[in-house]
Amino acid sequence: MANAAAFFDLDKTLLAKSSTLAYAKPLYQSGMITRKDLLRSAYAQSVYLIAGATDDQMDQMRVYMSEMVKGWEVEQVKEIAREALGTVIEPIVYAEALQLFDEHHEAGRDVVVISSSGTEIIEPICELLGADKAIGSQVEIEDGKYTGEILFYAVGEGKADAIRALAADNGYDLDHCFAYSDSITDVPMLEIVGHPVATNPDKELRALAKDRVWPVLDFREPVSMAARKAHNRNRAAGAAAGAAALGMAWYAAHRLRRSS
C-alpha cells in the first residue's frame, strides 16, 4: 500500500464548476427537476463561481440536495451521471489537475477525491480522471430510491474525519500527505496534512494561505478534450476498480466505528 496520498477537493479544484450544479441541465432534460430548479441551479452556479462557498451556503446546499433528490431512482441518477460525462464534465477539467495526478502517482501516492457532491455523481468522474479512491456525500437509499436523508455530508470537518478514517484504513502517514482545495470551508481538510495547497482559492483561503505560508496554485482554462482522453486511457483501467465501491463502503465502515 502507498504510505501517503494526495487528497483533492473536486469543484473549482479539479473542475472549473460545481459538479452537482453542472448536472442540472441533463437532470432537467430527463424530467427529474423542474425549470425552476434549473434556473435556481444556474443562479447558484454563478454565485459559486464568483464568490466561492461559505459555511452557510454549504448548509443551504445540503437542504437543497436533500429536498431535491427525495424519491429519485438511484440507478437513473447513475445512468445520467455516466452518460453526461462527455458533455458536462469533460469540458471543465483543469489540465493542471491531471498533471498533478500524474506527479503524485509517479511518486507512489494514491490520489483521493473528496467532494460534497453525491457518491453516485462523483464516482464516474473519478474514474474519468484516474483517481484511486473517492468519497462523496451519502444519501440514504431504500428500495432503490433516495429517501432525502443525508447520512454523511462531505463538508468541513466531515471531510477531515473521512480523511483520517481513510488514512487509518490504508496506512497513510498524514504528515506526508497532500491536500488541495479552493474553499475556506475546507480548512479542516488542509490543516491535517503535512502539505496543504490552496488551489484556485477564494478570497478568504488566499489570505489564510498567505498568512500560513501555504503554497497557492491558480489553474488556467480546462484542458482540451483530445488531451484529456489520451490521459484517461492511461489511467482508466486501474481507476475503475478503485472507484467502484467508494462512498458507500467508506460510510458503512465509518458508521460501524461510531456505533461500536
**pLDDT tens for residues 204-249?**
999 999 999 999 999 987 765 455 555 554 454 444 444 444 444 4
Give me the domain span that covers residue 59.
5-259
| Size of the chain, expressed as the number of residues it contains | 260
| pLDDT value for 171 | 94
Q: Is 143 a catalytic residue?
A: no
Strand partners for 6 = 111, 178
Please give the model's pTM, rounded to 2 decimal places: 0.81
Using alpha carbons, list the distances in angstroms from residue 227 to 46, 192, 194. Answer: 27, 33, 31
| pLDDT value for 11 | 87
State how beta strands 178-181 and 145-152 pair: unpaired
d(CA 12, CA 20): 12
Nearest C-alpha neighbor of 114 from the set 231, 217, 19, 17: 19
DSSP codes, 76-109: HHHHHHHHTIIIIIGGGBBHHHHHHHHHHHHTT-
Using alpha carbons, list the distances in angstroms from residue 254 to 31, 116, 135, 172, 209. Answer: 34, 16, 12, 17, 30
CA dihedral 251, 121, 91, 23 (to 10 degrees): -140
Q: Of the listed 11, 182, 186, 202, which one is catalytic?
A: 11
Q: Is 55 a catalytic residue?
A: no
- CATH assignment of the domain containing 105: 3.40.50.1000
Domain count, the chain: 1
| pLDDT value for 19 | 74
Q: Of the listed 9, 132, 182, 202, which one is catalytic?
A: 9
- Which regions in the chain score pLDDT beneath 70? 1-2, 21, 34-66, 223-260
Burial label for 195, CB within 10 Å (0-12, 13-18, 19+), is middle
